[in-house]
Structure 1
C-alpha cells in the first residue's frame, strides 16, 4: 500500500465528473487500498479517487472513530433514495485542509455500489455515515462541500487554499 498525495482545491481535476469504473481489476483494488491508507494517514473519514488525481467513480470511507475500523470501498456508488428529513453537519475535506462549514444534506440515504469482489451491494446510511457518503459521491460529480456555501465564504476559503498551495510550493 502506498500513501498518495491529496490534491488541494482549487485544482481543475477536483471539478471533473468522474468516469465509471468498468471492471474490478488489480489496479482498482490497489487504488482502493492506497486510498484507504492515504485517508487513515491524513487522517480523514472519507476519500474520493479524484482527490488523489484519478477521475474514476471510487470512494473509500470509515466513519468509526473509536473501536474496530470499518473500511469500505464503494465502486460506482449511487444514491438510490434520500430522506426528506435534512441534517446539518460541520463538514471538512482533505482537499480543503483546516476549513469547515455547516452543510445541510438528507439525514438518511440508500446507496448501491459494486464492492471490490464485483458484487452489487446496497446499504442504508444514517448519521455521519450518510453525510460522509454524500460528501464523497459529490466529489465524483465534481462538487465540493464549499459549493453549498454562499459565494463570499466560498471565495474566502478558495483564497486561503491558493495561499496554502503557494506556501507549499515554496517549501
Structure 2
C-alpha cells in the first residue's frame, strides 16, 4: 500500500501519462490502490494521490449504492455531461476540508478497465460525482480549484490549504 500525497505536493499537479501496457503489474497496482483507498476510508483514489503520474483511478461507492463494487478506470475521458448539482466534497489529499462544489449531474465516460477492455458508459448520482473528482486528479485539478476565490482565500487564511497549492 502507498501513502497519500497531500495538497502542495507537486505530483498532484503534474501531467499524467496514459497507460499503454495492461499486464499483471497493472492489475497488482490497481489492487493496491483499492486497498489504500479502503485503508484511508475513501470512495475514490487517483494514481497521483499516491505519487504516480498515470491515468488510473479506482472508485468504490458500494457503501452508498449496494449494486456497485470497486472498479478501476484507466485513461478515463469525459465525453458528455448534463445537468448540474451542488454537493459538499472532501478529498484524501486535502484533509479536514469540505466544500460545496458545482459539477454536472451526469456524465458519459470513455475508459479502459485493468484488462485493457474499452468501455463507454453513462453515470449519474454518486458515481458521476466521484468519477469527476478523480478524473480531475489525473488532470492535475483539485476540488479547491473549483470553489469560489473567497472560500479559497479563507481556507488559506485558516491554514487549511497552502498559499501556493
TM-score normalised by length of structure 2: 0.90
Distance 1:157 1:116 in 2: 37
Correspondences of 1:21-100 after superposition (within 5 Å): 21-65=19-63, 67=66, 70-83=69-82, 85-100=83-98
Q: Report the secondary structure of 1:8's partner residue.
A: coil
Structure 1 unmatched ranges of 5 or more: 163-171
Moved over 6 A (4+): none
Structure 2 unmatched ranges of 5 or more: none
Q: Deviations over 1:86-130 (max 9, x none)?
A: 011110000011210000001000111111111101221111110
CA contact (8 A) 1:82 1:110 kept: yes
Give 1:7's aligned residue.
5
Q: Does 1:160 align with 2:151?
A: no
Distance 2:32 2:56 in 1: 12
CA contact (8 A) 1:8 1:161 kept: no
Paired residue total: 159
| Higher relative helix content | 1
Q: Per-residue deviation at 1:68?
A: 6.6
Once structures 1 and 2 are overlaid, which stretch shifts more, 89-98 or 59-68? Answer: 59-68
Once structures 1 and 2 are overlaid, which stretch shifts more, 103-112 or 65-74? Answer: 65-74
Q: Per-residue deviation at 1:77?
A: 0.6
